[in-house]
Structure 1
Amino acid sequence: MGTGYHTQTTPADGGSYGPTVGELLTHPGVVGDRVLALAVHYAVPAACITVLAAAGILALTARVRRLRERRWADGARHVEILIPPEVQPTSAEVLWEQLHGALEHPLWRRMLFGTPHLGFEYRISPDDGAVIRIWVPSVVPPHLVENAVAASWRGARTRTVAAAPPMPPPVAGHQNVLVGGELRLGRPEQWPIRTDSHGDSAAALIAAAAGMPPGYHACLQVLARPVFGRRARHTSRPGRGAGLASGLLAGIAGDLVREMFGLFFGRAQTRNGAPRPAPRSADRQASLEQSARDRAAAVKTRGTHWATVIRYAVTAPVPTGSDTQACVRARKVARGRAHALSSCFSSCSDYNHYARHRRFRLSTVLTERRLGRGDLLSTPELATIAHLPLDAGIAEIHRAGARALAPSAIVAFAGPATKPLGTADAAPGRTVAMRVADARHHVHILGPTGCGKSTLLGQMVLADADAGRGLVLIDPKGDLITDLLKRLPRRCADTVVLFDADSASPPPCINPLDTTTVGADLDLVVDNLGTIFARIYHQFWGPRTDDLFRSSLLTVCTQPAPATLADVARLLTDDTYRARLTATVSDPVLHGFWTNFEALGDAGRGQLTAPLMNKLRHLLLRPFVKTAVAGGPATVDIGQILDQGGLVLARLPKGRLGEETTRLVGALLVARTWQAVTARAATPATQRRDAALYLDEFHNFLHSSTPVEDMLAEARALKLSMVLAHQNLGQLTPTLRDAVSTNARNKICFAVSPEDARDLARHTLPQLSEHDLAHLDAYHAAARLFVRGQNAPPFTVATAPLPPPIRGRSAHIRAAARTALHATAAALPDPAPVPIAPAAADYTAAAETDPAGPVWLPLHPPAASGGRTRLALHRLTTAWPQPTGTTGPDNTENPAADRRTVLPPPPPRPPREATP
């Protein structure tokens, strides 16, 4: 009966499982033996397959990672950081936060292509100082790093170059001894390092490498890759779990120690026999420390994270073939420097710290910048070890000097109807230009010699010449015009009027007293010329000299032919010539002046005319000045040149002409230009063409009777843009400084002195301070433009170099200018021939027979005057001859040489009366 209860039934749908389950329940040992036998039978093959598969996967992963890193290294760039004057402590954290966001990609992209890493590198050498740069792989656009640097460190500038090895190759005849290692976290990565240290690890790093012998190089790399996903989230658990486990283990170990102590020595008891309770102060202290560690670990889990590794190295040069002792000594020195570098991060020790480790194939991993898994750091921790030095007094670092500011969107790009200024510092590739309409509000360019003013002027002149806009350029040094003649467009050759003091060819003539050719007002001409002389020679120019000069100008201009400054000298020294001209004066005031002049006698007249004559002689004794200023009728119509898009280039080097002569000729050109511009008032505004007046060292040339502030205000309506360049504000008078500050609305400042920066900062604050204006690099400028009726925010710009010179262009333009001058001179009426002087005996008869004919100067010494002085004065000032047959470089005759004056021979001197 009992056997029926042991009958086993098989399920209809799963009979195969019945015996197995039954055996497992009734005979578990049999099932275990069977499983063990199967495991023993298949364990070894399965283990081998698993190990091989894991090894293959690891090898393939490493190979893919290696190929990926090599691909990133090919075409990598270095973004060199020029440190701003002031560095904020929190700027580095902002940088790494922005870079973390820039390198973040979707999960599928990270799985397929990986996440690239960056390298923050310090390179220090005695020759180059400390260079801080960011290594950027080829798959990361460098502008992402440049923009992040500019946004994080205000005023920092970047320079992107091709990536180079961290250590330079050995010089010829030497080999390098490399010593270094790797810094890794000494405790689990969930524990943070110190981020609130009062020290500056970057400054300590540079100081540790300072003073190395020549040829030594030090480098420290901080490689960092953004961490996403599981590893970043996993940091929130190990900190707490590890702390709990360690606390539990510590408690168990403590209990065991106490039990063993009580077993052998007995448990401490109280007075009543009860066991004394164990003190809890140690547990309380451990609990507090553990709580602090847990909080620090929890803080580390916040924000973004990076996988990092730090490598350092020092190279020492050793001559090739040196003995072992020399290599050992160099290695010891390099090892000491390397240990000093690695100890700079000891200030970051807290719940975690950095420990030195050896790194095999250090040179290879440094060059290839391999990262691997790395140590996990939060962004504040990474900013603690990879940042710019905060100390502004470190001499080894390369500083940007001035903060870089991008131009506003309203500032024009380079293009038609603009004048190029360069490229923006803070926006690489962004060209900057000034609109022609905005340039009518005038441009003030300030900067010391060698900063790039002439280059900027040259770019603006070339833009005007290429667009067909007329201009006048006065260059008191000469190099600018020399460079421009090699680069002007070929079509400008026929429109160039060249004044060159160093040329053997005669210059054009701008005779300031020629009111017939240019149609100027006589009173305005005399007023301008008198004011120019008075301001240039203000130290030696009194009211009597000014009265004499203005009266002489009005008198010589009464003759039919165009008068010159040489006629003024003749008027004051030639009694007969003066008598002829004053006889035709109809103005009673002017006639009365000459009556009083004649009444002074020879001694009085000589004393009165001497201050004026020595200045006229100083000018007329120079052939270039005499031809350009007093060479006869004017051959240059500046108004017509500006209206037709021509170029007037005046090369007036002070070393050739002297400072006062250069100022006088330049001021006469400016006055003639202003006369031509004011004549535009009769032309409708819509028909006036834009023109420009470029003045280098402009304070030497603005001496006309029209005040500078009025000239700047009126020129805009007449479509004349004045570009005023000079070196410092101390060159300007207070009146001129205020006029330029108010009316020259476009300001371009190169590196200026601290005194000038204090005044100019009023135009650029708060964006650019005095420090910025005084610490601009060469060929970099701060600009504040007047754009479409409003002041645009200031920005910094790097001026572009002039285009390469064109071979033969200068000679072609000079030849065309000479040809045009010869054609103009040939079109002028020939001067009347000067007859040969009669004999001394016939002098009086010739004068009485033909009073209207040529009158010869009596050269015998008058009473109460020195005859020799009178004769020398006449010969030097009345008719200074030019050499006969003067030719230019093209072997063409000098037309000005034919318009010379023949000196008559002086009559014999009468015998000196015997004195009693």
Structure 2
Amino acid sequence: MDFDKRKIGSEEEAVFFARTDFRGSDKLFGLKRSDRRQHMYVIGKTGTGKSALLHNLIVQDISNGSGVCVVDPHGELVESILAKIPKSREKDIIYFNPADSDYHVGFNPLELPDPKYKHLVASGLMGIFTKIWANTWSARMEYILNNAILALLDTPHTTLLGIPRLLTDKEYRQKIIGNLKDPVVKAFWVSEYEQWQDKFRNEAIAPIQNKVGQFLSTSLIRNVVGQSHSTIDVFNLMNEGKIFLVNVSKGRIGEDNSALLGAMLITKIQLSAMERVRIPEEERRDFYLYVDEFQNFATDSFASVLSEARKYRLNLIVAHQYVGQLTTDVSTVVRDAVFGNVGTMLMFRVGAADAEFLESEFTPEFTIEDMVNLPNYRIYLKLMVNGVASRPFSAKTLPPFKLNEEAMTVEEVVEGSRTNYGRRREDVENEILAWSTNAPPEEVVRATRTGEKFTSTTVGNKERFEVNCSMCGTETTVPFEPRKGKPVYCVDCYKKIERGEIKPLFSPKTSENKVAESSRVLSAMGIEFDAGSVGGGGGGPKHKQREDRLRSGDRPPERDRNRQRGGGDNSRRPGGGGNRNQGQNQKRQQPQTV
């Protein structure tokens, strides 16, 4: 069917999606712009025609010059839209595809439009984490993670990559604490977190490290959320009527990653819509948010979008397969918000349980038997007309629209979006690498803006220190004075460590005095080493088995490692070690020599 811009009943713009089929009638109908502000809800089994319906609505919105965002967890709907972008809207398209390994759109969930939204951002992120990680969630995990997010939000240009670092890197943590403005959050990190015993702290943060670390360990995701500055401005794209296509395909980036990233984007759109409060209502431009399989992203805060978005001209069109997807064991908030706030309701064929639930919405016109036997591309609906919901009636949806104007090719759309909103993978990875190696922020920005590869020689205005890579021996310079005994890596070795190709070196912390003391203690125990073997290179014990083990590169047992550190067995150093058998060792006599 050819698509042309039409009017319906007035001069107001409308979109068309079906024809009546009651008693042989065949009239085209749709929704006016004002009625779409009451939102649209679509439900139906897979394969019944939901995606085709959404496709037609999106194509019309794009052709009408409207602002559109499509969030698709499968990717097929968004990819079908890529071939339907008119040439006239070439500069408006933003294609967000995390699976693109060469160019990455930057999206920093911690980037604040205004400091007053800090707690809303934190609350939104916590709602997402609570939903996605419900099976492993705990009150302690929530307590720590919420304080971590609030702490990072007080420091400009932080990203989600800062969460695991804040928990484990004391130097970085002190820097963040120094920027804290919230006394309650600061009290947590100074008076509580820092006072925890190491064992308790490690147990407390382990679940957060596992979950957040798993999310950030995927380079495709890390290169998107790890950029300190977003390359997309959601507030502006809504006000300027851009086309924002979000392809968070589960099959390409993983189910949890898809749900997390999609939910974060929707939360960002919600906050950007709320920013419109400073724009007079009559000047707020309608923006249409399409969310397919929206149960994947529907947190409790999503319910507030349905109830509050209308005043901000954020109009939702949500679709999914069955009602049970909207409830959890402890909450029906999302389901109640949908059926309490949606104006237009469309139903394709549903299962028996859903038909029973929806019966109250569609009786007496349609029965449960009618609902479960509805043919494909046939719908029962309640249509919003001039602000009033109609009685239920039946209709048949339209075949895919064809544009009357020249469309861009998919390649043109992708390349144009890459050029305008993407950054090269190398640039993004250089920025993240620089951040992780504590390079000065101004030098990170300079290297990023110029496209220069960030290496240890990038920084040019500060004192340089010549070093050799502790791993490969490459000569280089760094903008900080290396600490004695602390390994320093070149960029290539650091990347290999990140990818897991090589293991990092342990910092040799034994001084010459400690080495001498260690040798004396071990000698008293009857264990002698060749010259230079303890704490340094060369030589080895005079015991054949241990010598072979050291040559093979195997790590010595814990007991031997304790001895090498200068403590011998735990029984010889009260209060030292941390051996599980410490209590027993203290009661033993001097250990027998080998």
Q: Give me the whole-angstrom Cα distance separating, in 2, the residues matched to 1:855 and 1:602.
A: 28
Counterpart amino acid of 2:243? Answer: L
Mapping for residues 360-371 of structure 1, pairs under 5 Å? none
Secondary structure of 1:781 counterpart = strand
Q: Does 1:830 align with 2:425?
A: no
Secondary structure of 2:103 counterpart = coil
Which residue, 294, 310, 329 being the options, matches 1:698?
A: 294
Secondary structure of 1:677 counterpart = helix
Counterpart amino acid of 2:374? Answer: L
Q: Give me the whole-angstrom Cα distance separating, in 2, the residues matched to 1:759 and 1:794.
A: 15
What are the Cα deviations for residues 238-288 of structure 1, in whole angstroms up to 9, with x where unaligned?
xxxxxxxxxxxxxxxxxxxxxxxxxxxxxxxxxxxxxxxxxxxxxxxxxxx
Mapping for residues 393-542 of structure 1, pairs under 5 Å? 417-426=13-22, 427-515=24-112, 521-542=117-138
Does the 8 A contact of 2:105 with 2:231 survive in 1? yes
Distance 1:859 1:574, change over 3 A: farther
Mapping for residues 613-652 of structure 1, pairs under 5 Å? 613-652=209-248
Does the 8 A contact of 1:515 with 1:521 survive in 2? yes
Which residue, 389, 410, 416 being the options, matches 1:816?
A: 416
Counterpart amino acid of 2:377? Answer: Y
Q: Give me the whole-angstrom Cα distance separating, in 1, the residues matched to 2:412 and 2:229.
A: 27
Does the 8 A contact of 1:470 with 1:691 survive in 2? yes
Instruction: Pick which of 418-427 and 565-574 moved more.
Output: 418-427
What are the Cα deviations for residues 762-808 of structure 1, in whole angstroms up to 9, with x where unaligned?
12222222222221111111111121122212222211222359886
Instruction: Pick which of 584-593 and 663-672 moved more.
Output: 584-593
Does the 8 A contact of 2:99 with 2:253 survive in 1? no
Does the 8 A contact of 1:840 with 1:907 survive in 2? no
Match of 1:715 in 2: 309
Which residue, 156, 176, 186 being the options, matches 1:581?
A: 176
Match of 1:547 in 2: 143
Q: CA deviation at 1:624?
A: 2.1
**TM-score between the two structures when normalised by the length of structure 1:** 0.47
Distance 1:753 1:554, change over 3 A: same
Which residue, 570, 574, 592 being the options, matches 2:165?
A: 570
Structure with higher RCO (Cα < 8 A, 6+ apart)? 2
Mapping for residues 739-758 of structure 1, pairs under 5 Å? 739-758=337-356
Q: CA deviation at 1:579?
A: 2.7
What are the Cα deviations for residues 530-554 of structure 1, in whole angstroms up to 9, with x where unaligned?
2211222122121211121122122
Counterpart amino acid of 1:796? Answer: S
Counterpart amino acid of 1:555? Answer: A
Match of 2:3 in 1: none
Q: Give me the whole-angstrom Cα distance separating, in 1, the residues matched to 2:29 and 2:218.
A: 44
Q: Give me the whole-angstrom Cα distance separating, in 2, the residues matched to 1:808 and 1:822.
A: 19
Q: Give me the whole-angstrom Cα distance separating, in 2, the residues matched to 1:611 and 1:876.
A: 26
Mapping for residues 188-337 of structure 1, pairs under 5 Å? none
Counterpart amino acid of 1:487? Answer: K
Does the 8 A contact of 2:101 with 2:220 survive in 1? no
Counterpart amino acid of 1:768? Answer: F
Q: CA deviation at 1:645?
A: 1.1
Q: Give me the whole-angstrom Cα distance separating, in 1, the residues matched to 2:55 and 2:116.
A: 31
Mapping for residues 847-858 of structure 1, pairs under 5 Å? none
Q: List alignment gaps of at least 5 residues for structure 2.
A: 1-6, 429-443, 449-453, 458-464, 471-477, 488-493, 511-534, 536-560, 570-594
Q: Give me the whole-angstrom Cα distance separating, in 1, the residues matched to 2:281 and 2:229.
A: 31
Q: Give me the whole-angstrom Cα distance separating, in 1, the residues matched to 2:9 and 2:484.
A: 69
What are the Cα deviations for residues 734-784 of structure 1, in whole angstroms up to 9, with x where unaligned?
222222111112110000112211221212222222222221111111111
Q: CA deviation at 1:647?
A: 1.1
Distance 1:823 1:576, change over 3 A: closer
Which residue, 671, 675, 690 being the options, matches 2:271?
A: 675
Does the 8 A contact of 1:531 with 1:703 survive in 2? yes
Q: Give me the whole-angstrom Cα distance separating, in 2, the residues matched to 1:755 and 1:905.
A: 59
Q: Give me the whole-angstrom Cα distance separating, in 1, the residues matched to 2:388 and 2:126.
A: 39
Q: CA deviation at 1:519?
A: 6.8
Q: CA deviation at 1:443?
A: 0.6
**Alignment RMSD:** 3.5
Q: CA deviation at 1:651?
A: 0.6
Secondary structure of 2:70 counterpart = strand
Distance 1:502 1:416, change over 3 A: farther
Secondary structure of 1:913 counterpart = helix
Q: Give me the whole-angstrom Cα distance separating, in 1, the residues matched to 2:275 and 2:495.
A: 37
Q: Give me the whole-angstrom Cα distance separating, in 2, the residues matched to 1:465 and 1:905.
A: 55
Q: Give me the whole-angstrom Cα distance separating, in 2, the residues matched to 1:859 and 1:509.
A: 37
Q: List alignment gaps of at least 5 residues for structure 1.
A: 1-410, 843-849, 862-874, 884-902
Does the 8 A contact of 1:577 with 1:857 survive in 2? no
Q: Give me the whole-angstrom Cα distance separating, in 2, the residues matched to 1:574 and 1:568.
A: 10
Q: Give me the whole-angstrom Cα distance separating, in 1, the residues matched to 2:246 and 2:276.
A: 22
Q: Give me the whole-angstrom Cα distance separating, in 1, the residues matched to 2:485 and 2:252.
A: 34
Which has more radius of gyration?
1
Which residue, 803, 819, 822 being the options, matches 2:401?
A: 803
Q: Give me the whole-angstrom Cα distance separating, in 2, the residues matched to 1:521 and 1:459.
A: 36
Does the 8 A contact of 2:87 with 2:407 survive in 1? no
Match of 1:764 in 2: 362
Q: Give me the whole-angstrom Cα distance separating, in 2, the residues matched to 1:577 and 1:713.
A: 40
Q: CA deviation at 1:482?
A: 0.8
Distance 1:860 1:484, change over 3 A: same
Which residue, 317, 324, 343 being the options, matches 1:730?
A: 324
Distance 1:762 1:860, change over 3 A: farther
Does the 8 A contact of 1:423 with 1:431 survive in 2? yes
The count of aligned residue pairs is 460
Does the 8 A contact of 1:574 with 1:857 survive in 2? no
